[in-house]
């Protein structure tokens, strides 16, 4: 089996759901649920409030900002999928987060994104997750992985359920079922 595929499957099956985000990229405002706010701002009370992008990344590890913010700016301006693996500071030490979402232009011309945060700190690996382009999963395996992850999350987040439904739809549109 492809080592990138093995690493990806192990990572996804061991990931812990942390929370959701809703980003109005035009205004640089972010809405985090309470769990995501506790992780990303250090203050659970920021959950459910529109906050600045800088506050939404308050706990970001200082070595991550140089590459993360430019990458986020490109995707939030142009639309498309946003997938990033980065570190944050918490009261329990440094944690590694997998941030997965998508951005699109709205009918009023604004750019908006939705996504989920997964804790991948405890996953045994030697480096960061493989780039998505390096993974060639058959459609049925992708759908199985998505279903398994959603089952693991249970009913914790309605937004996450919508994102998983969107992801399943997108996978269903893939051309090949190798």
The domains located in the chain, with CATH, are 3-172 (3.30.450.20)
What is the percentage of the chain residues whose pLDDT exceeds 70?
Answer: 61
* Residue, of 131 and 19, whose pLDDT is higher: 19
Overall average pLDDT of the 118-136 stretch: 56
* Residue, of 158 and 163, whose pLDDT is higher: 163
The 3-state secondary structure of the chain, one letter per residue: CCHHHHHHHHHHHHCEEEEEEEEECCCCEEEECHHHHHHHHCCHHHCCCEEEHHHHCCCECCCCHHHHHHHHHHHHHHCEEEEEEEEEEECCEEEEEEEEEEEEECCCCCEEEEEEEEECCCCCCCCCCCCHHHCCCCHHHHHHHHHHHHHHHCCCCHHHHHHHHHHHHHHHCCCCCC
Overall average pLDDT of the 77-81 stretch: 88
Is the pLDDT at 149 greater than 70? The verdict is: no
pLDDT, residue 20, reads 93
Name every residue whose Cβ is closer than 8 Å to that of residue 154 and which is 6 or more positions away in sequence.
none
Overall average pLDDT of the 99-106 stretch: 91
pLDDT, residue 121, reads 83
On whether the pTM is more than 0.75, the answer is: no
């Amino acid at each position: 089996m492809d080592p990138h595929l093995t690493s990806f499957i192990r990572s996804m099956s061991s990931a812990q759901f942390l929370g959701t985000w809703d980003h109005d990229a035009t205004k640089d405002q972010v809405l985090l649920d309470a769990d995501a706010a506790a992780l990303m701002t250090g203050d659970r009370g920021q959950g459910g409030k529109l906050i600045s992008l800088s506050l939404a990344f308050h706990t970001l590890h200082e070595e991550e900002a140089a590459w993360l913010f430019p990458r986020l700016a490109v995707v939030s301006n142009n639309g498309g999928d946003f997938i990033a693996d980065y570190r944050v500071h918490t009261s329990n030490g440094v944690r590694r987060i997998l941030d997965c979402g998508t951005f699109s232009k709205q009918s009023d011309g604004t750019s908006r994104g939705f996504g989920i945060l997964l804790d991948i700190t405890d996953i045994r690996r030697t480096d960061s997750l493989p780039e998505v382009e390096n993974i060639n999963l058959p459609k049925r395996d992708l759908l199985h992985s998505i279903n398994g992850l959603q089952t693991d999350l249970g009913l914790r987040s309605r937004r996450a359920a919508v994102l998983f439904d969107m992801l399943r739809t997108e996978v269903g549109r893939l051309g090949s079922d190798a």
